[in-house]
């Protein structure tokens, strides 16, 4: 009898701990993948980002912190990308066309950052910008100057870039929004640019 009671208590305890562990490990059964986890983690707790030196398609140096006081949409790309980055480019274009025109440049800007620091030079960044109609002012295409800073930046955004074995990369593509204090506040799917534009309008 005592043995059964002990077994029952232990099972109940293990079950309780097991369920709590799974609950904790999935943010309350919400996030089963690292990608959803990175998105839900932001809700209610914006994330500060490191100061890294960037360089735009015209070779001008700047940093994310220069955008303080404005909302900033950020995407990560590499210019030779044949798949996801194309959707990203189109999505960015749709967002730019759908936020209130008056806000563009003043209250809201867009920034595409390449993570292929080695191969994406100013010329390829310009090409990419031209393809999707980026004006180079309100929507800039940039690269990170140093490889170490790029790693730091990707880690802070939670973006993972891996070699696809075909000379390109696979990466978790999404659209990121930085608030007026330069903190990461929202990550959204690339196939819902209009919804993203609406949330930008709401933040304005």
Partner 1 sequence: MAMNRETHRVARIGLGALYLVMLTPAARTWLEATMTGHMLLQIPLLAAIGFAASRLLPERWQHGLLTTVGGAVPCVAMAIFASSYWMLPRALDAALASPLAEAGKFLSIPLFIGMPLALAWRRLSILGRGFVWSNFYSMLAVLGWLYIAAPVRVCNSYLVNEQVHAGWLMVKLALFLFTWWLASFFIGRQPAPREDESARTSGNASQTHLA
Which residues in this chain contact partner 1 in the complex, by CB under 8 A?
3, 6-11, 13-15, 17-19, 21-22, 25-26, 31-35, 37, 160, 162, 164-165, 170, 172
Shortest distance, position 161 Cβ to partner 1, whole Å: 9
Three-state DSSP class for 135?
coil
Beta strand pairing status for 61-63 and 175-178? unpaired
HSE at residue 141, side-chain half, CA atoms within 13 A, is 30
Nearer to partner 1, 14 or 118 (CB): 14
Nearer to partner 1, 6 or 130 (CB): 6
Contact 111, 137 (CB under 8 A): no
HSE at residue 164, side-chain half, CA atoms within 13 A, is 12
* Helix-, strand-, coil-residue percentages of the chain, each rounded to 5: 40, 20, 35
Shortest distance, position 162 Cβ to partner 1, whole Å: 6
Shortest distance, position 25 Cβ to partner 1, whole Å: 6
Nearer to partner 1, 84 or 110 (CB): 84
Shortest distance, position 10 Cβ to partner 1, whole Å: 3
Shortest distance, position 159 Cβ to partner 1, whole Å: 8
Nearer to partner 1, 38 or 96 (CB): 38
> Cα–Cα–Cα angle for 169, 200, 161, nearest 5°?
10
Shortest distance, position 169 Cβ to partner 1, whole Å: 10
Nearer to partner 1, 158 or 182 (CB): 158
Quick one: which of 39, 48, 69, 51 has its CA closest to 203? 69
Nearer to partner 1, 9 or 131 (CB): 9
Instruction: Report the distance separating Cα 182 and Cα 50, nearest Å.
Output: 10
Contact 175, 191 (CB under 8 A): no
Instruction: Report the distance separating Cα 67 and Cα 74, nearest Å.
Output: 11
């Amino acid at each position: 009898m005592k043995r059964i009671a002990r077994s029952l208590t232990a099972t109940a305890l293990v079950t309780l701990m097991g369920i709590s562990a799974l609950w904790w490990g999935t943010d309350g059964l919400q996030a089963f993948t690292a990608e959803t986890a990175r998105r839900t983690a932001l809700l209610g707790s914006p994330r500060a980002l490191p100061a890294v030196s960037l360089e735009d398609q015209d070779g001008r140096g700047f940093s994310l912190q220069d955008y303080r006081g404005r909302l900033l949409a950020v995407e990560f790309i590499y210019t030779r990308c044949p798949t996801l980055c194309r959707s990203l480019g189109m999505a960015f274009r749709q967002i730019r066309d759908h936020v209130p025109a008056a806000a563009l440049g003043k209250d809201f800007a867009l920034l595409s950052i390449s993570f292929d620091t080695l191969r994406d030079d100013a010329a390829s960044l310009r090409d990419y910008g031209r393809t999707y109609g980026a004006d180079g002012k309100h929507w800039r295409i940039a690269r990170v100057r140093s490889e170490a800073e790029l790693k730091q930046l990707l880690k802070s955004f939670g973006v993972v870039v891996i070699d696809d074995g075909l000379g390109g990369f696979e990466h978790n593509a999404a659209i990121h929004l930085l608030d007026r204090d330069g903190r990461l506040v929202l990550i959204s799917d690339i196939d819902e640019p209009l919804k993203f534009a609406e949330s930008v309008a709401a933040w304005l």
